[in-house]
Structure 1
Amino acid sequence: MTDPTTRTPTGPEESLRKYADALWSAAIAGDEYAATDAVLGALDAGVDPEAVLLDVVGAVQRKVGREWAANRISVAQEHTATAIDERVIGAVGHRVRTRPSRGRIAVACVDGEWHALPARLLAEVLRLRGFRVDYLGAQVPAPHLVEHLHRTAPEAVAISGSIATRLPTAHATITACRATGVPVIAGGAAFGSDGRYARLLGAEAWAPDARAAADRLAEGPLPRPENSTQAIDDLPHLADQEYTMVTRTAPQLVKAMYTGLELKLPVMARYSDQQRQHTAEDLDHIVQFLATSLYTGDDDLFGHFLRWTAEILEARSVPAAFLVPALELLGEELRDFPRATALLEGARAQFSASLVGTKESA
């Protein structure tokens, strides 16, 4: 469900690092057999299975994400390594089989969330701890999840989300689950490093990582939803309809921003088709994250996205300053929307100041 462990590894740290290094080398080379040998070798050496999952496989997957963000591995390598990590998790599950002795837990990703490996890690850790687990995988539509909850009546449902732009969908999913009387524990980067969005959207519990989630579920049942009929739009700031309007007009906003950038940045006339596509995608992400910030009422979400995007752009030799005129153009399009205007002005001022500070320190 969540990003792999951030806690102190179980077992000798050097041993765990050795197996993680072996798995990394195999995964990045696309060698599934060597990757499987690495994790099964750890089990044969007596490493705790949960540590193998979280401190070996999980650690490698986190490194995959960091290396992709730093532009040191390609998208193809990232996908290949992730697929191999998925396969080796299955290998661990087949090697270490447990008989269910605890309650039933459903584990699912928010609809539109295709980063399924964190959820898979949680599912396997829960199985190791004796839970009966229904792992539903990536991109689970809320109606399908609700049907499953009605049919199986689990003690809880664990909802995973890595992409913040899926928070409105996560809200719908959490609300639908709670309406069935099943409590929700949420986790993943989408819900914030402190779980603020899990609480905002009504989840009964939040966990920063798979171990913490398993610990919380092992402590005892989550509290049943106090108000299972909570309205999905029970966020007062949404009454201004700004989120709805930005979402509905997103394609037009992206087009207007792109056209405006072509006038402001003559270099775009020399862009390749691939560069044009990437630019359009970046602009679409700006609009999506702005909309999500409007939905949650949290300006920090948009600011964090801008800082992360700047790092990604710089790693790919694209000046982060490109974002400033993009924000200005979006502000012009949304000048009749007070909350969006204030958010964009504040974000643009902070981001511009950070760029100046970066140049001065350099």
Structure 2
Amino acid sequence: MIGVESAVERYLKLIGEADEYGAIDLVVGLIDEGVPAEDVLLRVVAAGQRRVGELWAANDWSVAREHGATAVSERAVAAIAGRVRPTPTRGRVTVACADGEYHALPTRMLAEVLRLRGWRVDFLGASVPGPHLITHLHQTGPDVVALGCMIAIRLPRAHATIAACRAVGVPVLAGGAAFGADGRFARLLGADAWAPTADAAADRLAAGLPSFAAGSDGEIHLGDEEYGYLTRHRADVLARVLDLLRESYAPMGGYSERQLEHTAEDLGHIADFLAAALYVHDTSLFTDFVTWTCEVLTARKVPAASVVLGLRLFRDVLADCPRARALLAEGIEAATAARPSGDSPARVT
């Protein structure tokens, strides 16, 4: 029997080569050798996927290679699920990704861990619209909803889903990176509980689902004027920022269609994370995004100064939004701190 660390390295090599059969043989073989299926899921497949994300962020793996590896992991999880089929001995759980959240693999792993722990699980997959989820709850009557959200820009939709679930009497267990490393956004959005990992979520359900809503920080003001303005006028704001960018950075006139498309996408990410930070009233959500973006771009030899330039232009356009401007000022400070010495002052992504 190979050790778990060796298994992770072997698994990473196989999924990096998009070797679906090899990866499935490895994980199924580990189970046949006596390694618990939950350990194979969390200590091999999940650990391998974390390395995939790190390799992509460091620009060691391309997007295509990362996508291929994730597709293989999805098949590996399905193979594990097919190999071990425990009889449900507990209640029923609906597991779903928040509306607009397409990173389904972590949530799928949670579903399989819960099945292994004896729960009857309805896994609804990626990006489940809130109204359709509520219809499913009426039809099936689960004991709890486990809601996954990985990207913070989906927090407003997650909030709407949490509120709708609780309105029909179904408690919500939240999980995923979007809710914060300490679960603070799960608490803020009204979830009944939060867990940082799949096994922790299973432990929480086994112990009952104590609500921390009563001690929460209060309801979020959905009618926040600046958040509403930015979401309603997103396209106009981005167009104005792009126009300013063309005026302030002459080489952009020679950009290809692909470069222009990537620039618009990058600016769109800034707008979306800014909106999310406004929604939950949390500066670190935005500055953490800025710092991560600078790290990813630096690995691709794109100076962090490009982020500083983009943030300054957003600040100019949002002249009548003091909270947004304050967040952008914090973002500029974070991006400036992330900029290596010698980084040129003006280059866009």
Q: Among residues 98, 103, 109, which one is paired with 1:121 in the alignment?
A: 109
Report if aligned partners of 2:277, 2:286 keep a CA contact under 8 Å in 1: yes
Report if aligned partners of 1:204, 1:223 keep a CA contact under 8 Å in 2: yes
Consecutive unaligned residues of structure 2, counting only runs of 5 or more, are 344-349
1:343 matched to 2:327? The reply is: yes
Q: Which residue of 2 aligns with 1:8?
A: none
Which portions of structure 1, spanning 4 or more consecutive aligned residues, are displaced by more than 3 angstroms?
A: 221-227
Which amino acid in 1 is paired with 2:178? A
Return the TM-score normalized by structure 1.
0.90
Deviation at 1:221, TM superposition (A): 4.2
- Partners of 1:213 and 1:131 lie apart in 2 by 12
1:175-254 counterparts in 2 under 5 A?
Answer: 175-223=163-211, 234-236=219-221, 238-254=222-238
Report if aligned partners of 2:92, 2:142 keep a CA contact under 8 Å in 1: yes
1:213-268, Cα deviation, whole Å (9 max, x unpaired): 111011124459879xxxxx9324x5441101011111111111122122222222
- Partners of 2:335 and 2:78 lie apart in 1 by 43
Q: Which residue of 1 aligns with 2:341?
A: 359
Q: Which residue of 1 aligns with 2:303?
A: 319
- Partners of 1:239 and 1:149 lie apart in 2 by 28
The root-mean-square deviation of aligned C-alpha atoms, in Å, is 2.1
How many pairs were matched up?
Answer: 342
1:110-167, Cα deviation, whole Å (9 max, x unpaired): 0110000001100000011111111111010001111111111111110000110000
- Partners of 1:26 and 1:349 lie apart in 2 by 41
Q: Which residue of 2 aligns with 1:302?
A: 286
Deviation at 1:298, TM superposition (A): 0.6
Q: Which residue of 2 aligns with 1:292?
A: 276
Consecutive unaligned residues of structure 1, counting only runs of 5 or more, are 1-11, 228-232
- Partners of 2:223 and 2:164 lie apart in 1 by 21
- Partners of 1:310 and 1:350 lie apart in 2 by 9
Q: CA 1:240 to 1:99, structure 2 compared with 1: closer, same or farther past 3 Å?
A: closer
Report if aligned partners of 2:190, 2:219 keep a CA contact under 8 Å in 1: no
Deviation at 1:168, TM superposition (A): 0.3
Which amino acid in 2 is paired with 1:286? I
Larger displacement relative to structure 2 (268-277 or 334-343):
268-277
Q: Alignment partner of 2:3: what SS?
A: helix
Report if aligned partners of 2:187, 2:213 keep a CA contact under 8 Å in 1: no
Deviation at 1:71, TM superposition (A): 1.2
Report if aligned partners of 2:192, 2:209 keep a CA contact under 8 Å in 1: no
Report if aligned partners of 1:262, 1:269 keep a CA contact under 8 Å in 2: yes
Which amino acid in 2 is paired with 1:193? A
- Partners of 2:292 and 2:253 lie apart in 1 by 26
- Partners of 1:198 and 1:153 lie apart in 2 by 23
Q: CA 1:281 to 1:49, structure 2 compared with 1: closer, same or farther past 3 Å?
A: same
Q: Alignment partner of 1:140: what SS?
A: coil
